[in-house]
Amino acid sequence: MFYNSTRNSTVKVSSAEAITQGISVDGGLFVPESIPVLTTEDIKAIGEMSYAERAGFVFSKYLTDFTEAEIRYCTENAYSTKNFETESIAEIAHLFDGTYMLELWHGPTCAFKDMALQILPYFLTTSAKKINLDKKIVILVATSGDTGKAALEGFKDVEGTSIMVFYPEDGVSPMQKRQMKTQEGENVGVCALKGNFDDCQNGVKAIFTDSEVKKLLDEKDMMFSSANSINWGRLVPQIVYYVSTYAELVRDGEIEAGEKINIVVPTGNFGNILAGYYAKHMGIPVNKLICASNINNVLTDFINTGVYDRNRKFYATVSPSMDILISSNLERLLYILTDGNDTLIKEWFGKLATEGRYEVTDDIKAKIREEFVAGYCDDVQTAQTIHEIYEKYSYTCDTHTAVAVKVYNDYKAQTGDTTKTVIASTASPYKFSKAVLEAVQNGKSELDEYDMIDRLAELSKMPVPSALADLRNKPERFGDVIDKTEQKNYVLEKLGI
Ligand SMILES: *Cc1c(COP(=O)(O)O)cnc(C)c1O
């Protein structure tokens, strides 16, 4: 299997190269040149495997330059009860008849980002070895909350790497801030920036592309790499849980082999739902992929009209990990749907950069509507949905997942579609305890963050993830706050350059 760049289809690299490079030099994203197909027998066999084995099976189709032993090394280290609180890793909960919650947040940071960021460090270090890249890999991350912590947990004490995370001083939740400030590990760094998420991101991008910095790093045998979802090494692990879930539902007699399901995904950067698309085209029978957004509904409009327009107000919502106006992974979908037309992709994404808007052709609009359905809801509806599910099914879900449930309920009411449905549940409700508690009890709470967790535990009867409970007594290790002009020097100083 080789990988092309969405902006230059003549680029052809191995998976090890795609993973270490992160993004192609032309600015495009790496995509596999074809989608491997699973047979009905494969799916049946997958149902009998452990999660680590299922992951290994899927990876063997995409990472064909990795040996079996290398893949096993990665999967066994990442997907074990050492890192996840449930044996199944991706836990399926039954919400109501024919509707399943795919709980992807039983990892160390309580958000679905762990599913990929627990394994990415192993992919990256294995890839570097394979291509004889004898350099220390420095991961720089700008985060609005979940990615930063998940990347820190994934890369902590991983030999041959170090990681530095920047977050906006006033732009993350108290729990997210505490998660990052108390991070353990000898190779980690965390720093707050006086500015917003865009300032963090712009600063990181500027450092990545600074030729003086690159030269200084080269001299020290170091290189930068990226841990966000533009990296193929973060996308491929997400395909696994859709394949795994389908195989498990068949195994457990919840669905017939070959029976179609809907997949609903609360979406921001389009990474998670794109993984669902890959799973579908690998042979998992899927009826509709349902894309759920909060009031930052740029994707809802795009899927319904074919016009992508980011010239709109940005809202801070109770589902902050979906507060995003540029969904990077859409580029991969459009590349596939245009049969690898890099000229069109360059045209559209060029327009997005200069005008903030592009419109796809009628042919592509039709193809998108064939596979995807899109909807959105606001914060009030999100809270109502959390309350309703709690009352009706004694199930407590987080704000992002609630957006997905609401959009699914609307879809079902409009279409009468009774296809069995898997809803991706992307975060533990305890990670957004204030919004969730207030929704559950239908009223404001003045408790502090930890007391809110305790109160939510009483109401939900769900165990508090130990990673969050332990935060209360953990010492804070990282208190640096810098101005955005100091970011580059800060990085160099911390790297000892
Ligand atoms: C990152 C995130 C999302 C959005 O996922 P994408 O892959 O960016 O679409 C949704 N929910 C939570 C809790 C997240 O952390």
Which of 113, 156, 177, 434 is an active site residue? 113
367 among known catalytic residues: no
Nearest ligand 1 atom to alpha carbon 105: 13
Q: Which residues pair with 262 in a beta bridge?
A: 421
CB-CB neighbours of 97 under 10 Å: 7
Top mutation candidate among 146, 234, 273, 291 for ligand 1, by most atoms within 8 Å of CB:
146
- Return the H-helix or E-strand segment holding 342: helix 342-354
Top mutation candidate among 234, 318, 400, 423 for ligand 1, by most atoms within 8 Å of CB:
400
Cα-to-centroid distance, 241 and ligand 1 (Å): 15
Per-10-residue mean pLDDT for the chain, 497 residues long?
A: 97 96 88 97 98 98 98 97 95 91 97 97 95 91 89 94 93 88 97 87 82 92 87 96 98 97 96 98 98 97 97 90 87 98 97 95 98 98 98 96 98 97 97 95 93 96 91 94 95 94
Cα-to-centroid distance, 413 and ligand 1 (Å): 25
Protein residue whose Cα sits closest to atom 1 of ligand 1: 321
Nearest ligand 1 atom to alpha carbon 145: 15
Nearest ligand 1 atom to alpha carbon 238: 7
Residue 78 dihedral angles phi and psi, to the nearest 5°: -80, -45
Protein residue whose Cα sits closest to atom 14 of ligand 1: 321
Top mutation candidate among 101, 115, 234, 321 for ligand 1, by most atoms within 8 Å of CB:
321
CB-CB neighbours of 186 under 10 Å: 7
Q: What is the pLDDT of residue 197?
A: 77
Local structure of 307: helix, strand or coil? strand
Q: Which residues pair with 139 in a beta bridge?
A: 163, 225
Q: What is the pLDDT of residue 92?
A: 97
Cα-to-centroid distance, 135 and ligand 1 (Å): 31
Cα-to-centroid distance, 37 and ligand 1 (Å): 26
Inter-residue contact 398 to 427 (CB < 8 Å): yes
Residues having CB closer than 6 A to ligand 1 are: 111, 113, 146, 229, 266-272, 321-322, 400, 426-427
